[in-house]
Structure 1
Amino acid sequence: MSRPGRLAIGVLGAGRVGAVLGAALRRAGHDIVGATGVSEESRDRIDALLSGVPVVEPDVLVGQADLVLLTVPDDQIRPVAAGLASLGAWRAGQIVVHTSGRYGTEALADAIAAGALPLAIHPAMTFTGTSLDLERLSDAVFAVSAPAPLLPIAQALVVEMGGEPLVIDDASRPAYHAALVHGANHVVTAVTQASAQLARIGVEEPGRVLGPLVHASVEGALTDAPGAVASLTGPVVRGDAGTIAAHLAALADQPETLHAYRAMARATADLALSGGRIGPAAYADIIATLGVD
């Protein structure tokens, strides 16, 4: 017998995020009544994480569920919600949740027009799409956006999954998501470029060289956030324009890395100047050395 407050949940899009969140909600006692999955990878995830849950068509799933996890790529949220609305699938009082960081509840406009209750819940973590993610949810912050009367529902769902809810206004979602992408994805890009540069000069295990430095730098920046000027190191905060010039020459045959180096060095110089780590003369010298792309 179901416990009071348990929901019939449908996972519309059993990708890495949907299957894991569905499994987390199932672990919390909710009933996963169905999932959609077209690719072999999605069906394998359903078997692994949502064992026994039937694979059904989207309109059938929405018809069975009290809460629909609409875990599709960002650009598909509006079209899928609209398509289901055209079929009359949504119903008043039904909860629909998307997990995009970029969008607030406005992406669910067609479901809202049919009386559905919209929630935007974004876990600020990466997903492997395996059971390993279930334990990592306990360390994750989830951005939640919803009309004020529905915020307690969004927050309760996050807590049930083991996460910590953080309320973000709909209008602030793009800025929130940009911060996460810049602070996480772009770090991966920088480390990848640095690793490739070390490999080019014959370093066999770039990760061993970069690892301690990168970990210490990121941990220092997180500790000092949002200012982070105390953790800045390197030629910019030393005012060492000659070293920067040597770096630019060494990267001349790697245009993508050179472009990224210049952009981040300028941003670092701005941060160092505003935080008092370098003076105006050193700043001007560094900017002149960096030149124009």
Structure 2
Amino acid sequence: MEELPVRERPARLRVGVVGAGRVGSVLGAALSRAGHDVTAASGVSDASRRRIAARLPGARVAEPPQVVADCDLVLLSVPDDALPALAAGLAELADAEGTLVAHTSGRYGHTVLDPLLRAGALPLALHPVMTFTGRDEDLSRLASCSFGVTSPDRLRPIAEALVVEMGGEPVWIPEERRGLYHAALAGAANHLVTLVAESAQLLGAAGVEHPGRMLGPLLGAALDNGLRLGTAGLSGPVVRGDAGTVARHLEELAAVSDEALAAYRSLARLTAVRALDSGLLKPDQAEALLAVLNGPAPGREDRRGQPE
């Protein structure tokens, strides 16, 4: 394989950020803290320009092709769907020879940057496994953050070193596994928030004044159990085989929310299957549970208990 050209660089890299949103501005600030010079950034919205001023004070605002041409390392921090077109456009418009170009998308590996590779750039995928709020604590959270890293083999040491410099932990993800990797993360993080919000709303409907206060200790313990013990950390009526309790849950949810009912059914089925496979649930218990979960929808009733 032909060696990729690498531009001669000083110990400190000139860093540019294309897409100074919540993620790009934080990673740029982390590289600055590590001793690199963040010299240029692009941002279209007023919010992005405010982030550049606040978090990347030494960076001048420039168009993306100019950011690529003037920097040794460029972070592309844009929505997943925009990344292929951005890479193709920069390959045509910017002098990318010898420039490290790293995107922050979870969905893609390094091959999405192939147009830039053909233009002489050095492609990296550095995905921080963290939710970013736009608040100041985002930067400190990188200290406990894993990064999904994918790159050509010869660039792996560089990619992993950059992650370590930002305070994160590099985790190698093969190119062909990026889709599965991202689906797993999105399913856990995004759906967890939805489930918590849904549970809080249902508790409010049940008369609980402060749902968050009630849920905090329970969910904290459940998350800890799941991370430490996996399926062995399960508790509740499904893993106990309490088909009658599950049936009552379905009745109650049917009275207030079709969406909550459907979600409960799907997740309870998955829980039952995992509990059965791990030996926590006996086959006859699983059969009774699945009969309830796969049965006809309970009749919807209004709050007075009368059919609608």
Question: In the alignment, which residue of structure 1 is the partner of 2:290?
Answer: 287
1:8 to 2:10 alignment: no
Q: Which residue of 222, 235, 260 maps to 2:263? A: 260
1:86 deviates by 2.3
Distance 2:95 2:292 in 1: 59
Aligned to 1:68: 74
Q: Following superposition of structure 1 onto structure 2, how do residues 95-244 of structure 1 map, counting pairs within 5 Å? A: 95-224=100-229, 228-244=230-246
Tell me if the contact between 1:74 and 1:102 (Cα under 8 Å) persists in the aligned partners: yes
Counterpart CA distance in 2 for 1:42 and 1:263 is 39
**What count of residue pairs does the alignment treat as equivalent?**
287
The letter of the residue matching 2:199 is A
Q: Deviations over 1:24-83 (max 9, x none)?
A: 101111111110111111111111111131111111111111111011111111101111
Match of 1:19 in 2: 25
Q: Using the alignment, how far apart are the partners of 1:134 and 1:269 within structure 2?
A: 39
TM-score, normalisation: structure 2: 0.91
Q: Match of 1:276? A: 279
Q: Which residue of 2 aligns with 1:33?
A: 39
**Does the CA-based 8 Å contact 1:125-1:140 persist in structure 2?**
yes
Q: Distance in 2 between matches of 1:196 and 1:128?
A: 22
1:203-242 alpha-carbon deviations (Å, 9 max, x no partner)? 1111111111111001000001xxx222111111111100
Deviation at residue 132 of structure 1 after TM alignment = 1.4
TM-score where L is the length of structure 1: 0.95
SS in structure 2 opposite 1:277? coil
Q: Quick one: distance in 2 between partners of 1:190 and 1:7?
A: 43
For residues 118 and 10 of structure 2, the distance between their equivalents in structure 1, rounded to whole angstroms, comes to: 28
Q: Which amino acid aligns with 1:231?
A: G
Residues 69-112 of structure 1: CA distance to partner in whole angstroms, max 9, x if unpaired? 0111111111011112222x142211100001110011112111
Contact 2:38/2:58 (8 A) holds in 1? no
| Match in the other structure for 2:303 | none
1:16 offset after TM fit, Å? 0.3
Q: Could you say what secondary structure the match of 2:60 adopts?
A: coil
Maintained 8 Å contact 2:250/2:261? yes
Indicate conservation of the 8 Å contact 2:125/2:151, yes or no.
yes
Using the alignment, how far apart are the partners of 1:210 and 1:246 within structure 2?
Answer: 21
CA distance in 2, matches of 1:130, 1:93: 34
1:121 aligned counterpart, secondary structure: strand
C-alpha RMSD of the superposition: 1.3
Q: 1:239-276 deviations in whole A, cap 9, x for unaligned?
A: 11000000000010301111110000000000110111
Contact map agreement 1:90 1:111 (CA 8 A) in 2: no
Identity percentage of aligned residues: 55
- Give 5+ residue unaligned stretches, structure 2: 1-8, 298-308
Q: Is the 8 A contact 1:239 1:282 kept in 2?
A: yes
1:131 and 1:246 mapped to 2: Cα distance? 45
Give the letter aligned to residue 26 of structure 1.
S
How big is the shift at 1:166? 0.6
